[in-house]
Amino acid sequence: MSATRSETHGVNHIKSAPVGDIEPEFGDYRVLERMFGIRRSFAYVLSDRGDIRSVCIRRPGAIKGKRLFDLASVRAFLHRQMKRGGAK
């Protein structure tokens, strides 16, 4: 057998989809800025107003956590803005 050839020894290798091919459901403020140009402070304003949905995940008893935004709600918000005349 050649040194460059590999054997699987009867093991089936399963390939997972590349992460880049999967649309995430949630993202932190960095994702909102990268995907939509919405910065952290405005994301919190939109969330507080109920325009977009978010959730804070944290360990039981912890004061601080991680705020994640529902990306589908961000898309829906942007589409509503377009219908209200925000689109050019």
Asked if residue 59 has pLDDT above 70, the reply is yes
Nearest to 71 by CA among 15, 28, 7: 28
Q: Which residues pair with 69 in a beta bridge?
A: 27, 54
77's CB contacts (< 8 A; 6+ apart) are: 46, 51, 52
> Nearest to residue 52, comparing CAs of 66, 40, 64, 65?
40
Q: Taking the complete model, does pTM exceed 0.85, yes or no?
A: no
pLDDT-based confidence at residue 2 (cuts at 50, 70, 90): very low
Q: Which of 21, 23, 43, 45 is nearest to 32 (CA)?
A: 43
**pLDDT for the residue numbered 6:** 45
* pLDDT digits 0-9 by tens, 14-23: 565 566 678 8
pLDDT at residue 37 is higher than 60:
yes
